[in-house]
Structure formats: C-alpha cells, structure tokens
Homo-oligomer: A and B are copies of this chain.
C-alpha cells in the first residue's frame, strides 16, 4: 500500500514542529491557514507539520477543523515536503474529550476522504500515565482496523504536559513491544511547557515560563532510550529570534534537536540552528558573557569593554571584568587567552576533521590532534594562538551527530537542497554527504 511506503520513510531527526489552526470562524474560508501552510517549501517548510485541532482552534470549530484537515491534506498532502501529523483533542481526565479525539482521527484517516495516504500520524496532547497512552494507542489500532490500514502504520506522538506523562516516559522500554499494544508506533515526545506549568502549579513573579530544564533532559533521555525523537514546546515571543536561537542551542546540548515553531520565520530559524554554521568563528568568555569575535582581514577581533589588554613592562596586562592578570611572556598570555577562547567549527571544518581522522584510522592510528590557529586582536594588541584537540574514535562518533543530522535532512528534504547548497557550497554539501559512512 503506497501510503505505508511513504510513512515508513523513517525520519530519524525532526528539527521543526509547526502548528496551524484548522478552522477559523469569520473567515470566508475557515481552512485558509491550512491551505497556506501546506504550500510551504524549502527552509520555511517544517520537518513535521501539525494541523492543530486542539489549542490553536476554538472548541466549537474543531469538528469543522477535522473536516478541513482531511480536505486540505487530500488536495495538497502529496506535494508537502515534510511529514503531516494532525493534533487531535485528548485529555487524561476527560473521557468525553478522548472520545472526541477518536472521532476526529476516524474521520481524518477515512480513505474515502482521500487524505490518509499523506497522513503520517497523529499528535495526542495532555496524556497522563502510560495506561492513558495505551488508551490512545488502542484508538489508533481501531482506526487502522476500521480503515484497512496496517496495524501500527499511523505514528503516535504525545505532548508531555503533566507530571504523570513525564514519569510515563520512563516506562516506554518496558511497555513497547508488549503483545496487547502497538506502542511501537510512538514517534515524537514533545514538551508542552505552558500546560506543564499549570499541572505542576508553578508560579513565577512575572508570569514567565520556568525553564523546566529537568523536563527537557528527561524527555531527551526517554527519546534516546526508546528510539524516539525529542521536541521542545513553543517559544512564545516570536519577535525574539536571538532568544529562540539560544533556546535551540541549549536544547541541542541536551540531545533535544527539535522545537515547536509558531511561524514560518521560526521554522527557518529552527531548521538551520542545529546544523553547523557555514563559517567557523571564535568565542571569547568576556567575564561570564560569551562574545563572538569579528573577523577583520584574517584577524579575530574583540572590541568590547569587558576585556582589556595592554603590552606593558615587557609583558602583558590582561584585565577581565575588573580582575587584572600580568603575563610575563607572550606564552603566558596565550595560555590565559586559550582559557577564554573557544572555536565554533563550520560544516567545512567538521567534514575536514572527520576526513582527516578517517584517513588516520585507516593508517592504523587511534588518535590524532587537530589544531585550530588564529590571530586574535584585543585593544590593538595582536596575538597568535593555536588550540589543540585530541580526536579518538569516541570523539569522532560524538562529533558526528551534526553530520548525521545533515545527511538525514538532505535525504528527506530534497526541497531544501538549493538552500543548503547556497549556504554551504555544492562542494561542502557533497563531501558532508560522503563522510562517516
């Protein structure tokens, strides 16, 4: 069955989870936003598109929303470059809501409506403990059976927005594969921090969302243990691009490579952020704040006021955030600066290093040193520095993740080939596709 082939193409990474209201009152076409979203292509198109028949759509519009999803996906789903996972209603505390969600799934997946071969799965919000997940799974199984789909072919993703769901994630390895469920259909674990905050009854003075770092760690860990994909919740301040980027960077350091996107602009940012940059750059720790050095004619320049440097008395006076260090020799100064500096490698740099390590390994060497050199200028004083890093098999494999991500993106998203080639150059893209295999 063709639909299943598509569904089994097996995304291994999800960078972007983009939600769209399914039906809006007072519009000539209540499905207008769905029709617009399904037309997205390239960096503006998400890895996973989520027609949102829950919170983004008014309760009295959700029956119409389910019909809109079926109609719009039937028309445009085949050409959409990402996967399509509608979110239906669900609540661990309400059988009425759960039954409503089941009915919407039944409708959207009905082959007569022509959408199901481009529906990859459904997103279930507000789940509770693992037994509640099983109730949702059972509805998936009934939907599949009613509609002649293969059991387990519709993927199930859940929103983690309660303490019980957070604990439920820890049981997946024990529960997936049991004879009386099809939980192997699980695909994404998505954090929902707004409702999680409510469920945990947290209070902040400004009303801002807590960071919930432990939740994100636990989600990433559970995804790793059960072969699933971890996705962070929405970042509400859509004008704060820098803040969104920082959140993604922090998430990536926990293994959470995907994030919710509320606008096509956020989709672009979240599609790019976890990939290595096109150009490498140096960071300096300016008294607790990480500052990017600017490259001027081959020299890396710090021009802030938090670090000061002066040649003096035959040595160097280095001042960081009010603390002074006197370096008697240039060697001492280089050592001090290396403690403050760090290099962010470009895609090209990473591919280079991997190629070099692969060659060394073939020649029988287990570890090699990679060097990154630069001339750094602070307050007009220029210093040559060089940073060494040992690479062994473990380093090689751990640093391979961004390349594996890139390769997965490249294979699954032909619509982004042009953007990627423009960003990195054809040559780098080609080499990145052939290392590490």
A contacts with B, residue count (CB < 8 A): 81
**Interface residues, chain A, with chain B CB atoms under 8 Å away:** 13, 25, 55, 58, 129, 162-164, 166-167, 170, 173, 194-195, 197-210, 213-215, 217-218, 220-225, 236, 240, 249, 252-255, 257, 274, 277, 283, 287-289, 304-306, 321-324, 339, 342-345, 364, 366, 389-390, 392-395, 397-402, 404-405
| CA–CA, A215 and B25, complex, Å | 46
| CA–CA, A224 and B390, complex, Å | 34
20 contacts between A and B (CB under 8 A): A25-B364, A55-B393, A163-B224, A164-B225, A167-B222, A198-B400, A198-B401, A201-B255, A203-B252, A204-B253, A205-B283, A205-B344, A206-B342, A207-B399, A214-B214, A240-B339, A288-B288, A289-B321, A289-B323, A304-B323
Contacts of A13 in B (CB 8 A): 201
Closest CB in chain B relative to A398 CB, distance in Å: 4
Cβ contact within 8 Å between B197 and A398: yes
Q: A58-B366, A198-B397, A199-B224 are in contact. List 15 more A-B contacts (CB 8 A).
A: A13-B201, A58-B364, A129-B225, A163-B224, A198-B400, A204-B253, A205-B277, A205-B283, A206-B283, A206-B342, A209-B398, A240-B339, A289-B323, A305-B322, A305-B324
Determine the residue in chain B with the shortest Cβ distance to A342: B206
Closest CB in chain B relative to A437 CB, distance in Å: 16
Closest CB in chain B relative to A104 CB, distance in Å: 19
Determine the residue in chain B with the shortest Cβ distance to A202: B255
Contacts of A223 in B (CB 8 A): 163
| CA–CA, A205 and B167, complex, Å | 31
Determine the residue in chain B with the shortest Cβ distance to A404: B201
Closest CB in chain B relative to A304 CB, distance in Å: 6
Cβ contact within 8 Å between B203 and A402: yes
Query: How many copies altogether?
Result: 3
Contacts of A321 in B (CB 8 A): 289, 306, 322
Cβ contact within 8 Å between A201 and B322: no
| CA–CA, A164 and B226, complex, Å | 8
Cβ contact within 8 Å between A394 and B225: no
Contact of A163 among B206, B221, B323, B344 (CB under 8 A): B221
Pairs A-B, 9 closest by C-beta atoms: A200-B255, A163-B224, A163-B225, A202-B255, A164-B225, A163-B221, A214-B217, A305-B322, A203-B252
| CA–CA, A249 and B204, complex, Å | 7
Contacts of A162 in B (CB 8 A): 224-225
Determine the residue in chain B with the shortest Cβ distance to A349: B207
Known contacts A164-B173, A200-B254: A344-B401 contact under CB 8 Å:
no
Cβ contact within 8 Å between B221 and A167: yes
Contact of A323 among B236, B306, B392, B399 (CB under 8 A): B306
Contacts of A283 in B (CB 8 A): 205-206
Known contacts A221-B163, A366-B58: A252-B173 contact under CB 8 Å:
no
Cβ contact within 8 Å between B206 and A343: yes
Cβ contact within 8 Å between A210 and B254: yes
| CA–CA, A153 and B202, complex, Å | 29
Contact of A253 among B199, B210, B343 (CB under 8 A): B210
Contacts of A253 in B (CB 8 A): 202-204, 210
